[in-house]
Amino acid sequence: MQPADLPELKDYSPASLDSYFGGILALFEKEAAAAGTPDELEQLRIRWIGRKQGLLVGISEDVKKAPADQRREVGKRFNALKSAIEPRCDPEQAQARTPSAAESAAESIDITLPGTRRALGAEHPLIRTMNEIVTVFAAMGYSVGLGPEVETDYYNFESLNFPPGHPARDTQDTLVIAQQERKPLRDRLLMRTHTSPVQIHTMEQQPPPLRIVIPGKVHRNDAADATHSPIFHQVEGLCVDTNITFSDLKGTLDHAMKAFFGSSVKTRFFPSFFPFTEPSADVQISCIFCGGRGCRKCKQSGWIELLGCGMVDPAVFGLVARQQPAYDPKKISGFAFGMGVERIAMMKYGIGDISQLYSGDMRFLEQFR
Ligand code: DAH
């Protein structure tokens, strides 16, 4: 719009001044009513009271041209116009004065109609499973810890007794962070392949006795299929004190499995290998589907493998003791365990394909409400 929209000031008679200033105000009112958004309000401000080209600048020129005996009268009207316009161009005051579009609409809303329904969310089955596992251990006096997903080679491997080049590193298809080659191996960053490095962080930060569970996300360079995902979850556990024995480990995990799957579940321990535990074991539970008689789910064996565990290797304590001397492998002992959350959740809820857990599909998630 050009200043040409403005009424013309023919002479300085009171009637002419009235129609001139009245006309300007009416024009402003019309434009102000149409300026709803902050952008439009800003345009309005620039057009009317912009310092260089605002319409008020032009109008003030007219005022200055008034004959001396009329100047007072004209000035008064100009000031009244100005104080009517200015606050309406200020976003804060404009909002306070003019009802927003939403406010005017609110007046026409029928409050007897039902409101907008906001669907209640549900705890994701993975988070729920993780919380349930953590709760079982919390009841036995374990606290809960967390650690970083981006780790150094030292914490993910070396401190856990996987020396450089150790073949056990190959079982963990590691996703490494780019451009780390200039750093010494121990400082190179990678996505943690398991939650076990948090055992080390925790011990470095606090002396024994220690009982802690660590739920978290881990990453491996695995191709996705019905039972694998490159990102998955684990719950790690660690207990360190004087005189902790393998029977403490067995009793703790047997109790935890019964608390989690039901008191009729049995456990059994098989020799296994992990670099950071000695001895190491895999834990199996009696098949929760057939009660141990043998079915398709347990491949007719009656048992399902669920987690890894073992007595903390003294070599691991030895490394930690450099920072926390209380982890003297001659004085303390401990056990550790780690389990995959997806597998447990899939078993517990009868989920056949791991990718459903990450699909975000409401039809799937709604079943867990
Ligand atoms: N970190 C192992 C893995 O991801 C799992 C594990 C096994 C953790 C034995 C433990 C343990 O704490 O004692 O394969």
Read off the pLDDT band of 259 (50, 70, 90).
very high
Answering whether pTM is above 0.85, one says no
Q: Is the CB of 275 under 6 A from ligand 1?
A: no
The more confident residue out of 179 and 40 is 179
- Residues constituting the chain: 369
Amino acid (1-letter code) at residue 14: P
DSSP 327-348: --TTT-EEEEEEEEHHHHHHHH
Tokens for 100, please give them. Answer: 């927003």
Q: Is the CB of 236 under 6 A from ligand 1?
A: yes
The predicted-structure confidence for 317-328, as pLDDT tens digits, reads as follows 999 999 999 999
Q: Is the CB of 202 under 6 A from ligand 1?
A: no
The predicted-structure confidence for 30-68, as pLDDT tens digits, reads as follows 888 888 888 888 888 888 888 888 888 888 887 788 888
The phi, psi pair for 35, rounded to 5°, reads -90, 95
Q: What's the confidence (pLDDT) of residue 113?
A: 87
Span from the CA of 220 to the centroid of ligand 1 (angstroms):
14
Q: What's the confidence (pLDDT) of residue 252?
A: 98
**E strands, the chain, in order:** 143-144, 150-152, 189-191, 210-219, 231-241, 267-274, 277-286, 303-312, 333-340
Q: What whole-number distance in Å separates Cα of residue 227 and Cα of residue 245?
A: 34
| Ligand 1, atom 8, residue with closest C-alpha | 338
Q: Is the CB of 337 under 6 A from ligand 1?
A: yes
The predicted-structure confidence for 211-234, as pLDDT tens digits, reads as follows 999 999 999 998 999 999 999 999
For ligand 1, pick from 212, 244, 248, 337 the residue to mutate: most ligand atoms within 8 Å of CB.
Answer: 337
Q: What whole-number distance in Å separates Cα of residue 228 and Cα of residue 346?
A: 12
218 touches 197 (CB < 8 A): no
DSSP-derived pairing of the beta strands 333-340 and 231-241: antiparallel
Please state the atom number of ligand 1 nearest to the C-alpha of residue 310.
13
Please state the atom number of ligand 1 nearest to the C-alpha of residue 160.
1
User: Average model confidence (pLDDT) for the chain?
Assistant: 90
Which residues 6+ apart lie within 8 Å of 230 measured at CB? Answer: 175, 219, 220, 221, 222, 223, 224
Amino acid (1-letter code) at residue 364: F
| Ligand 1, atom 5, residue with closest C-alpha | 338
